Amino acid sequence: MSAPPGNAHSTPNKPSAGRVRRPVTAYWRAVGVIAWKDLRAEIRSRELVTSMILFTLMTVMVFSLALELDADARQNTVAGVLWVTVVFAGMLGLSRSLAAEKDRGSLDALLLAPIDRSALFFGKMIGNLVFVLVVAGVLMFALTVMFNITLIRPLIVLFVLLGSIGFTTVGTLFSSMSVHARARETLLPILLLPVVLPILISAVRGSTAILNDLPSDDWLPWLQLLVVADVIFLAAGYALFDFVVEE
Amino acid sequence: MTYSVPRDRALKGLTIAAGVLFVLAMLMDFFYVGPEKTQGEAQRIFYIHLGSFLGAFIAFAAAVVAGIRYLSSRESRWDILGLASVEIGLGLSGITIITGMAWAKPIWNTWWTWDPRLTSITIMWLAYAAYLMLRAGIDDPERRRRFAAVYGIVAFASVLFTIIIIRVRPDTIHPVVAGPTQADPSGGFDVAGRIRDTLFFNLFTFSVITVTLVWHRIRLENLAERVTRRKLDVLSEL
């Protein structure tokens, strides 16, 4: 991720002799502070990630019982099981992320802060992304052990990372809309699932092709589609979050 | 767009033109083109299938434009255009799905198959159905317009996905008529003669029909707003 354009708070890097300054601008500091605030609250309470991980493990149990998977079937369905579980567990976290801020009234305080609104968006999104990645990591480990398929491979990790970025970007944008709705818990999945399905399909198809050791012709187009979708959704989130939270 | 007599007359003219065009298009579908050499009579539904998809594409693209214009100007007429476009787009893409199924039964011997093209257009339809759910779920009218505009813009990603999916995924059985494919990366346009004439005429007709329907939907929304205002006026006089 590079620094977005139109960043009013960035301080130009002064060329200083003999010393390389890290290009951390006020914008990215604000992003980091917001993300770290969410992570620290979670490290202290441990309520969200604990329930997400428990939910994840139960879902894997339900899948393996419901689908009665043998070794062959596991090979072809494990990526689907991984992604469906990550998406549903991620939805639990996303619906809480802004709902908690709104219910405690801290959202108003965040909006009053003299920072770019998109910094708030990226901070929230990175917080959610870390939760989703923790869940995905635990799930990949669990599936590797329980399904006897090595999921922890560089390319699979890359697909998980790119898919999670796209999912949490759209998810953060939509959950900040659905908190204002009457039935917020039901509205978020309805809004989010059809829009992130392209990401989901690309990630599942690509991961399955890699697990079956197919040549790169079979998974490279999915990887490209995933990158394009991520870029589109990041740009949409950056441009549109302002309009969602303005009050 | 407010209600006015000359505008109403223009809409009436456009409606008649759309009706005449539609009758001509149907006559071309059934009498001007002969049966296609491999698919026979079943191929005739293709003109409605592609025509209604073009109409849905125009409507959903109009919703993106309306969303951007609403967010920059905050005029409620852009929101009405967005709502009208999404509703008409949903109807037209519903026609695309249903005509596709009717064609698939004789050609593929099944109404439905989990082909990427079929799946992605259904996802697109669901994304825009969610747009209406979002509008129904937000009480504050100003916030509803704002959120609808944002969602209408983001949901267009599912339209783009429907269009590019068969270029990414080679194992679709859905025919590709225009543009680059895996088999023919340079792109091309795979129809000629009477089939091409009929196809272009149908695409034009469905574009006109889409504009007409969206206009009618906008007029309906404006009339409904006028009724609400009149009611409030009457109530305030009591």
What single DSSP character describes residue B35? P
pLDDT of residue A1: 41
Assess B134–A contact: CB distance below 8 Å, yes or no. Answer: yes
Q: How close A240 gets to chain B, by Cα (Å)?
A: 6
The number of helices, as runs of H, and strands, as runs of E, in chain A is 8, 0
Q: For residue B215, tell me if it sits in a domain.
A: yes
Determine whether the interchain pair A177/B134 forms a contact, defined as Cβ–Cβ distance below 8 Å: yes
| Residue B106 forms part of a structural domain | yes
- Is the Cβ pair B130, A194 closer than 8 Å? yes
**Would you say A196 and A171 are in contact if contact means Cβ atoms under 8 Å apart?**
yes
* pLDDT, tens only, A159-211: 999 999 999 999 999 999 998 888 888 899 999 999 998 899 889 989 988 88
Minimum Cα–Cα distance from B121: chain A residue: A194
- Buried (b) or exposed (e) across B76-94, using 16+ Cβ within 10 A? ebbbbbbbbbbbbbbbbbe
Residue B105 lies in a domain: yes
pLDDT at A12: 46
Please indicate if any CB of chain B lies within 8 Å of the CB of A217: no
Note whether residue B177 is domain-resident.
no
Provide the chain B residues 154-173 that lie in CB contact (below 8 A) with chain A. Answer: 154-155, 157-158, 161, 164-165, 168-169
Give the model's pLDDT for residue A229.
92
Asked if residue B185 belongs to a domain, the reply is: no
Q: How far is B59 from chain A (nearest CA, A)?
A: 18
Asked if the model's pLDDT at residue A70 lies above 80, the reply is: no
> Least CB-CB distance to A236: which of B139, B149, B154?
B154
pLDDT of residue A7: 44
What CA–CA distances, in Å, run from B52 to A105, A148, B77, B97, B209? 47, 48, 25, 9, 9
Token readout for A22 is 């890290």
d(CA B26, CA B45): 10
pLDDT < 50 regions, chain B: 1, 182
Residues of B in Cβ contact (< 8 Å) with A217: none
Instruction: Sketch the domain layout of chain A as residue ranges.
Output: 26-245
Provide the residue range defining the domain that includes B52.
11-33+44-172+196-237
Taking CB atoms and an 8 Å limit, are B164 and A244 in contact across chains?
no
A198/B161 touch (CB, cutoff 8 Å), yes or no: yes
- For this complex, say whether ipTM is above 0.90: no
d(CA A116, CA A106): 17
Tens of pLDDT, residues A92-137: 888 888 888 888 888 888 888 888 888 999 999 999 999 999 999 9
The tokens for B37 are: 């050499």
Helices (H), A46-153: 47-67, 71-104, 106-112, 117-147
- Is A200 at the interface with chain B, CB within 8 A? no
The single-letter DSSP state of residue B140 is S
Number of domains in chain B: 1
pLDDT, averaged across chain A: 85
Going from the C-alpha of A53 to that of each of A88, B16, B195, the distances in angstroms are: 11, 61, 57
B205 — contact with chain A (CB < 8 Å)?
no
| 3-class SS of residue A37 | helix
pLDDT at A239: 92
> HEC string of A9-31?
CCCCCCCCCCCCCCCCCHHHHHH
Q: How far does Cα B116 stand from its chain's mean position?
A: 20
Residue B1: inside a domain:
no
List the one residue out of B118, B160, B67 whose CA is nearest residue A225.
Answer: B160
Q: For residue A116, which amino acid is it?
A: D
In a domain, B6, yes or no: no
Chain A: closest CA distance from residue B168 (Å): 6
**What is the distance in angstroms between the Cα of A109 and the nearest Cα belonging to chain B?**
20
Candidates A9, A191, A224; CA nearest to A116 is: A9
The model's pLDDT over A147-158, given as tens digits with 9 standing for 90+, comes to 888 888 889 999
Q: How confident is the model at residue A9 (pLDDT cuts 50, 70, 90)?
A: very low
- Whole-angstrom Cα distance, residue A26 to residue A30? 6
For the cut 70, the answer to whether the pLDDT of residue A21 exceeds it is no
Residue A226 in this model has a pLDDT that exceeds 50: yes
Among A182, A195, A225, beta carbon nearest to B137: A182
Beta carbons of A191 and B151 less than 8 Å apart: yes
A138 touches chain B (CB under 8 A): no
